[in-house]
Amino acid sequence: ATGEKGSKTGTSCASSVIGIVKKGDASIEAAKAAGGITVVASVDYHTKGFYPFVGETCTIVTGK
């Protein structure tokens, strides 16, 4: 159905310090794997921190 988010959610995050040191994987593929998702219904991004010094970006995927 249109607008349906899906029953599964997966999240992947990556952090960076001074835009150089990066840790983690915030890709859609990593979020799909984390939630066991094969069909993506929606993708959302969330970023927090004090760019470019320190920050974290997360990708949230919903689907089936």
Global confidence as pTM: 0.79
**What pLDDT digit, counting tens, does each position of 23-43 carry?**
999 999 999 999 999 999 999
Report pLDDT for 4: 59
**What pLDDT digit, counting tens, does each position of 41-60 carry?**
999 999 999 877 899 999 99
Q: Which carries the bigger pLDDT value, residue 7 or residue 51?
A: 7
Question: 17-49 b/e with 16+ CB inside 10 Å = b?
Answer: eeeeeeeeebebebbbebbebeebbeeeeeeee
Report pLDDT for 22: 86
